[in-house]
Amino acid sequence: MAKKRASYHHGNLAESLLDAVNTIAEQFGIEAVTLRGCAKHLGVSPSSAFRHYSDKRALFTAFATRALNQLSDTLQQAHTEADSRGNDALMAVGLAYVQYALAHPALFRAMWREEAIYTQDPDYLEAALRLQGQISSGFAGSIDDGDPEAISDQELLLWSAVHGLANLYVDGNLNGHLSQFERLKKVEAVITTLKPALLSSDQ
């Protein structure tokens, strides 16, 4: 316990509490997360935690905000790396979306739990708009887009496909016996099947 206290004093408690949310949620489920439980996990007093987050809903809001920003970063990085290597950006971005969900299931679930967060929180709204901008600008620039302010049919089709697969995998409703490699191969197959519609010039 002393080690955890020492690491906190040299770090950022607000961020450390979000790390604790992730750890507890991945082990026991998001419903098991409490602000007091996160404080106990870090070895700090509940009053210290409440100075950063007024209640569990505020904690979850910050956690969802982190998730939205991380996913936006992931999509942008996938596109940038694909371009620099001359790879298929559409495939790279689609795979990155699902890979993020598989690697961070608690964060992936949290960003869509609007009933558990303060949806009008300024930081959350900014992060949500940032991800929406990634989607509406050619899905992180991986497909042609005539109107970056609106989500086109092609963008919606790709988002529905990768988000749906990510949800099914994270919730264990699809091919639970498959390895991550095998799951991602199925994502590749789905994106390949959709490519004629996604790359249509009729926006």
Clarify whether residues 107 and 27 are in a common domain: no
The answer to whether 154 and 198 have CB atoms below 8 angstroms apart is yes
Residue tagged 């371009």 (tokens):
83
DSSP 8-state symbol, 194 = H
How many residues are listed for the chain in this entry?
Answer: 203
**Same-domain status, 70 and 29:** no
Residues 16 and 62 placed together within one structural domain of the fold = no
What pLDDT is attached to residue 10?
Answer: 42
pTM: 0.89
How far apart, in whole angstroms, are the C-alpha atoms of residue 39 and residue 42? 5
Note whether 39 and 136 are same-domain residues.
Answer: no
179 and 146 fall within a common domain: yes
Give a three-class secondary structure readout of 30-59: HHHCCHHHHHHHHCCCHHHHHCCCCCHHHH
Is 127 part of any domain? Answer: yes
pLDDT value, residue 144: 86
Does residue 137 form part of some domain?
A: yes
Q: Give domain status of residue 60, yes or no.
A: yes
The answer to whether residues 35 and 121 belong to one domain is: no
| pLDDT at residue 130, rounded to an integer | 96
The pLDDT assigned to 15 comes to 95
**How would you write the pLDDT of the chain (203 residues) with one tens digit per residue?**
444 443 454 459 999 999 999 999 999 988 899 999 999 999 999 999 999 999 999 999 999 999 999 999 999 999 999 999 999 999 999 999 999 999 999 999 999 889 999 999 999 999 999 999 999 999 999 998 888 888 999 999 999 999 999 999 998 877 668 888 999 999 999 999 999 998 865 44
> Could you identify the residue written with the tokens 């990085």?
77
Same domain for 36 and 96: no
Tell me, what's the pLDDT at 7? Answer: 47
CATH of the domain at 43: 1.10.10
Q: Does 203 map to a domain?
A: no
Q: How many domains does the chain have?
A: 2
CATH code at 70? 1.10.357.10
pLDDT of residue 82: 95
**Range of the structural domain that residue 37 is part of:** 1-53
What is the structure's pLDDT at 189?
Answer: 97
Residue where a domain terminates, one of 10, 38, 53:
53
Tokens found for residue 28: 């026991």
